[in-house]
Structure 1
Amino acid sequence: MKGNIKIDNTDRKILKILQTNGKITNAKLSEEVGLSPAPTLERVKKLEQSGIIKSYHAELNAELLGLGVNTFVQVTLKGHNKQNIDSFLSKINEIEEVIECHHITGSGDFILKVIAKDIASYQLLMLEKVSDIDTVDSLQSMVILSTFKNNKEIPLQQTN
């Protein structure tokens, strides 16, 4: 569902809480927002059905899973027509190490966030998978040395 969907301050409270704790029980959520459980559940269902709440998932510790290299890769395509873009997206969606893909403005066409075990694995991934996509013209890699902010919460403005 597109466009602005009207939400009130109670909906914003619900969204803020769910962004920080998607596993919260409805009873605890209702207590925190000051409603009884039934209307709280109805509001959550409304937010899910409207598309404001897209999904629930766990954030994993990549380093503990042996995935210690994170990079951003700026991709420039050989041409900017729909066929090249569709072909690139189809192939990039098959590469599980590409965890984000954004169409951008500026000198490149796409920015990818890529995760790999180590630099050797990353190099192999770039050589054998990403640069092998026929519509790719050039790649510019930026290895992430440290992350100081990685907030997954969308800011929600309160209204009076």
Structure 2
Amino acid sequence: MPSLKLDPIDRKILAELQGDGRMTNVELSRRVGISAPPCLRRVRTLEETGLIKGYHADVNARELGFEVQVFAMVSLKSQAEVDLSAFETLARGWPLVRECHMLNGEIDFILKCASPDLSTFQTFLTEDLTAADNVASVKTSLVIRNAKDEPGVPFEILEARAAAEEE
């Protein structure tokens, strides 16, 4: 749970900005039902506490020429913290890797990769990923289509939980 106690207005602000981070403060304040100055103060507090990490454009990767998305499941030879951290540092430096998550279980990391074509991904796979220190194995799955790509968190669950706590 966040260290900052969120009230219903804060949750509404976060939900609205998650859906459209470009709206004006005036529009946001109208949507959440408070005046603009306190709305702006709340947004700044949410930013300062790290609950709002940034604002991003949702770009169309395929229209920009990134035709290939691949999930790469990586197993390491060693799971010592120094080795896990070293792999994370490598992953942050690879432009094709858009997300990197450490997992529990058989696979140590899953990488979400975006590439303009299979040839570019294959080069990355053979020259960078599988050749990296401490990589034991890599299994890849090519994305055929995307059924859902929902950013952020499901605020409706937070609202239901908050309502249940108030009862």
User: In which range does the TM-score fall when normalised by the shorter chain?
Assistant: over 0.9
TM-score (norm 2): 0.91
Deviations 1:15-44 (A, max 9, x none): 111001100000111111111110000111
In structure 1, the partner of 2:55 is: 56
In structure 2, the partner of 1:149 is: 148
Q: Is 1:11 matched up with 2:39?
A: no
| Aligned length in residues | 159
Which structure has more RCO (C-alpha within 8 Å, separation ≥ 6)?
Answer: 1
In structure 1, the partner of 2:82 is: 83
Note the residue ranges of structure 2 that are not aligned, 5 or more in a row: none
Deviation at 1:94, TM superposition (A): 1.0
Q: Is 1:73 matched up with 2:106?
A: no
Distance 1:16 1:97, change over 3 A: same
In structure 2, the partner of 1:28 is: 27
Q: Is 1:112 matched up with 2:116?
A: no
Deviation at 1:3, TM superposition (A): 4.1
The answer as to whether partners of 1:87 and 1:135 remain within 8 angstroms in 2 is: no
Deviations 1:56-96 (A, max 9, x none): 11111110111011011100011111222122122221101
TM-score (norm 1): 0.94
Aligned partner of residue 93 in structure 2, secondary structure: coil
Two-structure CA RMSD over aligned residues (Å): 1.3
| Structure 2 Cα separation of the partners of residues 133 and 93 of structure 1 | 13
Aligned partner of residue 24 in structure 1, secondary structure: coil
| Structure 2 Cα separation of the partners of residues 119 and 30 of structure 1 | 46
Deviations 1:84-136 (A, max 9, x none): 21221222211011000000011110000011111111111101111111111
Identity of matched residues, %: 36
| Structure 2 Cα separation of the partners of residues 3 and 47 of structure 1 | 11
Counterpart AA for 1:126? L
Note the residue ranges of structure 1 that are not aligned, 5 or more in a row: none
- Bigger CA drift: 86-95 or 141-150? 86-95
The answer as to whether partners of 1:71 and 1:113 remain within 8 angstroms in 2 is: yes
Higher helix share: 2
Aligned partner of residue 139 in structure 1, secondary structure: strand
| Structure 2 Cα separation of the partners of residues 73 and 58 of structure 1 | 25
| Structure 2 Cα separation of the partners of residues 84 and 47 of structure 1 | 34
